[in-house]
Chain A
Amino acid sequence: MSPKPVGGPYITGTTILAGLMVAIMAMLVLIRFFFGLGTVTNLNDGYSWGLWLAYDVVAGTAIGCGGYAIALVVYVLNKGHYHPLVRPAILASMFGYAIGGTSVLIDISRWWNFWHILWPTYFNLNSVMIEVALCISIYTTVLMLEFAPVVVEKVVGWTRQRGGNLHALTTTVEKVLDKTIFVLIALGMTLPTMHQSSLGTMLIPFGYFINPLWQTPLLPALYLLTALSIGYAIVMFEATLVSDRFSRPSEARILGLLSRYMTAVVALFMVIRFGDIIYRGNLTYIFTSHGLSYAFLAENLLSIVGIILLLSERRRMAPRYQFISALCILSSCVLYRIDSYLVAYHRVGWHYFPSAPEILITFGMIAVEVLGYILIVRHFPVLHSAAPVNAQAPASE
């Protein structure tokens, strides 16, 4: 019933590969810090933001929205039976955001001034970025505190055998956390609502550099919806993958119920997006934007396939379809975010494609997440040992 460490070996093919990728990344990052951005990246004055910003930060933090999306269902809509999904989602979110923050540190050229974004005398309150930067910094801390009970639980178990004052202290910490966690949970839903929408607003100053299929004053709303749909999709993707890879009981039933939120949010996103494109008279851009027309098509086809796959009740409850659908919607929304920041951003006379070291650093970041996730679920009580929903969840809501 309750979450337990999965156990098992730490050294496997997957962890060795991930470790290697992290090592390569570490070397490249050192080169970047010693010799400047230009030695490692293809960034230039036309494309001063590249892969790291678009993928690691803008898409990466959305991939870290699993915790946010699940919390909304569990705590606002009061669907307690989704509870088994909360801990793994928060763990993945913590990694997503920590990686996003670290990527920003590597990306900004004058990193020794990084603390300026936390120091009020430097703030420019007209800047969308200050809101995003502050909010993400605070939220990363909140995620760590939200995950703290998992670590504390382990420590309490360890001190119990020793007894004495140490045990008294750890149990007090556990109690305090338990009593105050609702504040963290509420913060954990407020902050992503703020900065995930602002990530969209951040594109508005780019004006005509961004193709009209992506540039609109509704960007904050569209970005909030993609954060949610990516959040649900990543939880489904992860849960199906984990129950398969760690040979755990399937969570298909609970995921089938959850999938309806994912498809509903994506559908709403598409309605608003198309409505806006029609309202602004930009429909023709769908056919006349050359390569971008295909990018737009790919985004929408993936979403539509993701929705259609789960239309029937039978497929909605089947892990295979849940996995494929989640993957489609995840790709669609991640693509939307990368497209709007990078692909649909066009500067006459300039070119950008990420360099090999840039790509390797991004891969290294993903490897950190995978490695961290594996090690932590093996060691800490994150995953539920059995799928409790089969007994608890109502057949329909």
Chain B
Amino acid sequence: MSLTRRKFLRGTAVAGAACAVAGLAEAEERKEKTLPPKAVGLLFDSTLCVGCKACVSACREANNLHPEFNNGINLWDAPLDLSANSLTVIKAYSEGSAENKDQEQDGFAFVKKSCLHCVDPSCVSVCPVSAMTKDPVTGIVSYNPNNCIGCRYCVAACPFGVPRFEYNKTIARLRKCEMCKQRQAEGKIPACADVCPTGATLFGSERALRAEAERRHQLAVGERTFFPRKTVGSTDTYEKRAPRYDTQTYGLKEVGGTQVCYLAGVPFAKLGLPSLPEKSFVSTSEKIQHTLYKGMIAPALLFGSLLFAVRRNAKADEKEDE
């Protein structure tokens, strides 16, 4: 009797382990998520940005955020980084004499930080209580404080460091850019794109924005061309010589793609945009979970065989006691 039990247990143990190992080995692949049908997004062209921070100010107004004073003089808004109070900030890169715009050496460049609205967002995947969601149509990544338990897993997991938490409040919440979805509901465009004087921040359908990015890459350096303001395809345009762009558009492939993409004249790493793999990190964790817990079959099998083992051994013990 004990031999068959042992065999049975060994069999289930080996089978279970094999399933787990196969699952883990397979875990590196999961079907890639794709751009939602009516994905909206932003295109930020660093070469057009003059660092005026009108977007920062407009974002505050649109989202009821107060100015941040960091220079000792409480006169002008000077946020140092994204925070629960600053959903977008402009940061500057400078090197050497910082004389030439959009040059890596002896140059400077601006970058706008805000949520990138990933195609496969980490924050949405990790949130245990569905407080972070991605709109299936527009792809906007939103936060619902009513669901949130405040575990801050999203803060720790976002590869871009976007979600920010209120650590110094009793009734704390998370804040992040939601692409002014309240304005979009009224037919307006995100505040940052609306006020940008040079069209450095452009709003529109993500597919059109990506086509526009591609068009700019195709331009010869110095060629005269038109740049739209506010939205891609808008009639509000101005003529300017094409700048020299870094070879890539940032956000087409990074962690499965993002709906906020970047063009720049200096390498993206200099602008604080990390170099990331094409596959999102959460696609691996989700694959592992969904393999191990598929239909709860593996846990049920484990529980069943343990139940069997415990019962058998407990009975054997009882007999010994008698």
A contacts, CB < 8 Å to B: 33-39, 41, 43-49, 74-76, 78, 80, 104, 107-111, 113-114, 116-117, 122-124, 126-131, 133, 182-183, 185-187, 189-190, 193-194, 197-198, 201-202, 204-209, 217-218, 220-221, 345, 347
Chain B CB within 10 Å — which of A104, A127, A194 has the most? A127
CB<8 Å pairs between A and B, sample of 16: A36-B167, A39-B168, A46-B161, A108-B149, A114-B149, A123-B129, A131-B289, A186-B307, A190-B299, A190-B306, A194-B299, A201-B285, A204-B282, A205-B282, A209-B159, A221-B20
Mask, B20-35, CB within 8 Å of A = 1, is: 1100100110000000
Query: B3: CB under 8 A from chain A?
Result: no
CB closest chain-A residue, reference B275: A208
| A124/B156 in contact, CB under 8 A | no
Given A45-B161, A217-B284, A221-B24; A201-B289 close (CB under 8 Å): yes
* Complex contact A38–B285 (CB within 8 A): no
By beta carbon, the residue of chain A nearest B21 is A221
- B 178-203 contacts with A by CB, 8 A: none
Known A36-B169, A113-B148; contact A205-B122, beta-carbon cutoff 8 A: yes
A76-B306 CB under 8 A given contacts A37-B167, A45-B83, A204-B284: yes
Q: Are B24 and A217 in contact (CB under 8 A)?
A: yes
The 8 closest A-B pairs by CB, nearest first: A109-B150, A38-B167, A110-B150, A207-B281, A48-B152, A48-B155, A204-B285, A38-B168
Nearest A residue to B5 via CB reads A78
Residues of A within 8 A of B307 (CB): 182-183, 186
Residue ID in chain B nearest A220 by CB atoms: B288
Number of interface residues of B (CB under 8 A): 68
* Cβ of A48 to closest chain B Cβ, rounded Å: 4
Per-position contact with A for B141-166: 1 when CB-CB < 8 Å, else 0? Answer: 00001111111110111010101111
* Distance A102 CA – B153 CA, assembled complex (angstroms): 18
| Interface, chain B (partner A; CB < 8 A) | 2, 9, 20-21, 24, 27-28, 82-83, 122, 124-130, 145-153, 155-157, 159, 161, 163-170, 172-173, 255, 274, 276-277, 281-282, 284-286, 288-290, 292-293, 299, 302-303, 306-307, 309-311, 313-314, 316-317, 320
Known pairs A108-B150, A122-B147, A208-B274; list 10 more (Cβ under 8 Å): A37-B168, A80-B320, A113-B129, A116-B129, A116-B147, A185-B306, A187-B303, A193-B302, A220-B292, A221-B24
Contact of B125 among A39, A49, A74, A127 (CB under 8 A): A127
> Are A126 and B286 in touch, CB under 8 angstroms?
yes
Partner of A109, one of B2, B21, B165: B165
The SS class assigned to the A binding surface is helix
The reply to whether B150 and A111 contact each other, CB–CB distance below 8 Å, is yes
Chain A residue numbers with a CB within 8 Å of B303 are: 186-187, 190
Q: Contact at A130–B299, with CB atoms within 8 Å?
A: no
Minimal Cβ-Cβ distance residue in B for A129: B128
Cα–Cα, bound, A326→B4 (Å):
34
Question: Are A205 and B167 interface neighbours, CB within 8 A?
Answer: no
In the complex, are the beta carbons of A128 and B309 less than 8 A apart?
no
CB within 8 A of A133: which of B128, B173, B306? Answer: B128
A240 and B224 alpha carbons, distance in the complex (Å): 82
Contact residue among B24, B172, B285, B320 (Cβ-Cβ distance under 8 Å from A37) = B172
A206 contacts B149, C-beta separation under 8 Å: no
Q: Select one of A76, A126, A129, A205 contacting B151, CB under 8 A.
A: A129
A198, B290: Cα distance in complex, Å: 12
Docked-complex contact B149 and A35, CB < 8 angstroms? no
Output the least CB separation between A94 and chain B (Å). Answer: 19
